[in-house]
């Protein structure tokens, strides 16, 4: 380990080793990150809540556990959790006024897994309200700024998680991905984001947006770190009926496998109209790099790509309209002042508690599910979903991995797309179909354009995260895009 590397520039592997070799303690490490958050986060707004006191206590406990000699790998390492994961005794807002006063009495399964492994929670990261958005402009707590260009968005909905990792305010963070919310902000912030297979990570205690699409995963700086995080996050949980009872491999074990002969498919539909040429060029560079490393490249077709966005924007709002019906001002969350009857209580609590985008989704979803339109919209969208899945099934008969850009454009300026929902929804054109098909996908940095990072996306078949992490790690062993960092103005 190189002693000259600043604590905040170290990978999880290095931090874990450093703790074990007593180069620093978890308490020192945790204080270092808390100081950076205090100094730098006012410019980025990547945290909604910083849990300093709890973090320091957890770090002390981790130091004791480390001293005992048999602590898990992430013991003592600070991480940040997206504010969609319930945290016992700590406000969990989902970036909504509706949950601004919500303090859960329990931890999400993912949060529990980190606690058991001795990781330290730095706080809860900012996001789009109820995970609806691609720019983090829909947060009740204000937008998150992209650390590479503070006039631009960090992506969404996990913009706070991506920005905090990019700005080195947290070594790693948890996030969720319903249509791209791990991969798209990871791409726009120049970090690595893994959306696991649907059912790999428990959704218990993760506030529901669209239950058949939502999946938790890590945002880190490297694929190796993502493997370490997934080791902690993945696993069966009987409290989530869609969580799959399948053994969790050690995701770090296969990172160094050779990728000689790996069959990579390039979908021609991902390189057409709407793709920023600079993104296309950076991805072409990545393809050449994979060829150099021995992968076998071929062109493939995913013919229903164009239909994935409209299908998603029926299915996700439909599920959201049902999931968000629980926020009624009665049980928990925001309640309007002085309601004059029950109807008024419902209407004003929801009217005042939800932001515009959330209301738009609820209206669209309720409409698509209504008796008169169910067949025309919801059923049709489910049929398209099946076609999208079949495209992938066909493709995976011939290739191991599908490679393309993560997003059509780099980080855009605040306000640029927020008045045009369709333009904003197209941000997810390359990420949404993996959610519709339940597939794992990873975004990793592969270059930059005018100082803004470009993301490369790899998608593989269900439960083959090892293959994705292996391919991503090998790329990172031969390139340095993931080592680039935004300018740092901190003194710590």
Q: Tell whether residue 137 is a contact of ligand GLN (CB under 6 A).
A: no
Phi-psi sector, 329: left (phi>0), alpha (psi -120 to 50), beta: left
Give the DSSP H or E segment for 446: strand 441-449
Q: Tell whether residue 407 is a contact of ligand GLN (CB under 6 A).
A: no
Q: Tell whether residue 178 is a contact of ligand GLN (CB under 6 A).
A: yes
- Binding to ligand GLN (CB under 6 A) within 266-305 occurs at none
Q: Tell whether residue 179 is a contact of ligand GLN (CB under 6 A).
A: yes
Q: Tell whether residue 457 is a contact of ligand GLN (CB under 6 A).
A: no
Q: 455 pairs with which residues across the strands?
A: 445
Compare residues 190 and 317 and give the one whose CB is closer to ligand GLN: 317
Q: Is 81 helix (H, G, I), strand (E, B) or coil?
A: strand
**Tokens 């054109």 sit at which residue?**
429
In 18-151, DSSP assigns E strands to: 47-50, 78-82, 120-125
Q: Tell whether residue 391 is a contact of ligand GLN (CB under 6 A).
A: no
Q: Tell whether residue 63 is a contact of ligand GLN (CB under 6 A).
A: no
Compare residues 270 and 290 and give the one whose CB is closer to ligand GLN: 270
Residue whose C-beta lies closest to ligand GLN: 181
Within 10 angstroms of residue 451's Cβ, the number of other Cβ atoms is: 13
Q: How far is CA 387 from the centre of its chain?
A: 25
Task: State the minimum distance, in angstroms, from the CB of residue 126 to ligand GLN.
Answer: 14
Cβ(210)–Cβ(117) below 8 Å: no
Within 10 angstroms of residue 310's Cβ, the number of other Cβ atoms is: 16
- The interface region with ligand GLN, picked from 176-184, 218-226, 415-423, 455-463 by CB under 6 A, is 176-184
Active site amino acids: 82, 157, 181
Phi/psi of residue 367, nearest 5 degrees: -65, -45
- Preceding amide of 157 cis, omega within 30: yes
Shortest CA distance to 147 belongs to which of 36, 277, 278? 36
331 to 370: interface string for ligand GLN, x by CB under 6 A:
----------------------------------------
Compare residues 196 and 329 and give the one whose CB is closer to ligand GLN: 196
Compare residues 237 and 428 and give the one whose CB is closer to ligand GLN: 428
Question: What span, in angstroms and rounded, lies between the C-alpha atoms of 47 and 28?
Answer: 21
Q: Tell whether residue 155 is a contact of ligand GLN (CB under 6 A).
A: no
- Binding to ligand GLN (CB under 6 A) within 425-454 occurs at 428
Q: Tell whether residue 131 is a contact of ligand GLN (CB under 6 A).
A: yes
Q: Tell whether residue 316 is a contact of ligand GLN (CB under 6 A).
A: yes
Cβ(445)–Cβ(483) below 8 Å: no
Compare residues 30 and 46 and give the one whose CB is closer to ligand GLN: 46
- Length of the chain measured in residues: 492
Give the DSSP H or E segment for 299: strand 296-300
Phi/psi of residue 127, nearest 5 degrees: -165, 170
- The interface region with ligand GLN, picked from 171-179, 277-285, 390-398, 451-459 by CB under 6 A, is 171-179
- The interface region with ligand GLN, picked from 7-15, 108-116, 132-140, 269-277 by CB under 6 A, is 132-140
Q: Tell whether residue 181 is a contact of ligand GLN (CB under 6 A).
A: yes
- Out of 76, 118, 180, 196, the residue judged to bind ligand GLN by CB under 6 A: 180
Within 10 angstroms of residue 429's Cβ, the number of other Cβ atoms is: 21
- Out of 87, 93, 157, 174, the residue judged to bind ligand GLN by CB under 6 A: 157
Task: State the minimum distance, in angstroms, from the CB of residue 316 to ligand GLN.
Answer: 5
H helix intervals, 338-480 = 342-353, 356-369, 380-395, 421-426, 432-437, 465-478
Q: 419 pairs with which residues across the strands?
A: none
Compare residues 177 and 466 and give the one whose CB is closer to ligand GLN: 177
Six-digit token pair at 349?
Answer: 């609590």
Shortest CA distance to 5 belongs to which of 186, 149, 221? 221
Task: State the minimum distance, in angstroms, from the CB of residue 179 to ligand GLN.
Answer: 3
Q: Tell whether residue 173 is a contact of ligand GLN (CB under 6 A).
A: no
Q: Is 427 helix (H, G, I), strand (E, B) or coil?
A: coil
Q: Tell whether residue 132 is a contact of ligand GLN (CB under 6 A).
A: yes
Q: Tell whether residue 177 is a contact of ligand GLN (CB under 6 A).
A: yes
Question: What span, in angstroms and rounded, lies between the C-alpha atoms of 453 and 190?
Answer: 5
> What number of chain residues touch ligand GLN (CB under 6 A)?
13
Q: Tell whether residue 218 is a contact of ligand GLN (CB under 6 A).
A: no
Q: Tell whether residue 19 is a contact of ligand GLN (CB under 6 A).
A: no
List residues near ligand GLN by CB under 6 A.
Answer: 131-134, 157, 177-181, 209, 316, 428
């Amino acid at each position: 380990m190189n002693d000259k590397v600043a604590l905040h520039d170290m990978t999880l592997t290095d931090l874990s080793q450093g703790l074990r070799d007593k180069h620093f303690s978890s308490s020192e490490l945790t204080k270092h990150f808390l100081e950076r958050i205090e100094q730098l986060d006012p410019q980025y707004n990547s945290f909604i809540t910083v849990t300093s006191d709890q973090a320091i206590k957890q770090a002390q406990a981790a130091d004791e556990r480390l001293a005992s000699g048999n602590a898990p790998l992430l013991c003592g390492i600070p991480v940040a959790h997206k504010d969609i994961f319930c945290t016992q005794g700590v406000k969990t807002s989902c970036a909504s006024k509706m949950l601004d006063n919500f303090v859960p009495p329990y931890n999400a399964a993912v949060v529990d897994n980190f606690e058991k492994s001795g990781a330290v929670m730095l706080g809860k990261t900012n996001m789009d309200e109820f995970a609806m958005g691609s720019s983090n402009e829909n947060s009740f707590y204000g937008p998150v700024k992209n650390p590479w260009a503070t006039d631009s968005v960090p992506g969404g909905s996990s913009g706070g998680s991506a920005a905090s990792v990019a700005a080195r305010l947290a070594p790693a963070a948890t996030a969720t991905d319903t249509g791209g919310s791990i991969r798209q902000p990871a791409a726009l912030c120049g970090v690595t984001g893994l959306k696991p297979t649907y059912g790999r990570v428990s959704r218990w205690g993760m506030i529901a947006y669209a239950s058949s699409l939502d999946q938790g995963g890590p945002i880190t700086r490297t694929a190796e770190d993502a493997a370490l995080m997934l080791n902690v996050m993945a696993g069966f949980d009987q409290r989530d009926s869609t969580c799959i009872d399948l053994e969790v491999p050690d995701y770090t074990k296969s990172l160094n496998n050779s990728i000689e002969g790996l069959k990579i498919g390039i979908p021609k539909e991902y390189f057409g109209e709407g793709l920023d040429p600079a993104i296309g060029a950076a991805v072409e560079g990545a393809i050449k790099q994979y060829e150099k490393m021995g992968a076998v490249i071929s062109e493939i077709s995913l013919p229903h790509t164009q239909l994935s966005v409209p299908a998603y924007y029926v299915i996700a709002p439909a599920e959201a309209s049902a999931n968000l019906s629980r926020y009624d001002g009665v049980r928990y969350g925001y309640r309007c002042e002085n309601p004059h009857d029950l109807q008024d209580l419902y209407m004003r609590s929801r009217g005042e508690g939800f932001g515009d985008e959330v209301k738009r989704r609820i209206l669209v979803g309720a409409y698509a599910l209504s008796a008169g339109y169910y067949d025309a919209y919801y059923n049709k969208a489910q049929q398209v979903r099946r076609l999208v899945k079949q495209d992938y099934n066909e493709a995976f008969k011939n290739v191991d991995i599908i490679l393309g850009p993560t997003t059509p454009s780099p980080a855009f300026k605040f306000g640029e797309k927020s008045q045009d929902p369709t333009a904003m929804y197209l941000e997810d054109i390359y990420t949404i179909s993996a959610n519709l098909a339940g597939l794992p996908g990873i975004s990793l940095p592969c270059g930059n354009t005018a100082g803004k990072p470009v993301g490369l996306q790899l998608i593989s078949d269900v439960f083959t995260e090892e293959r994705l992490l292996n391919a991503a790690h090998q790329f990172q062993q031969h390139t340095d895009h993931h080592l680039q960092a935004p300018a740092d103005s901190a003194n710590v």
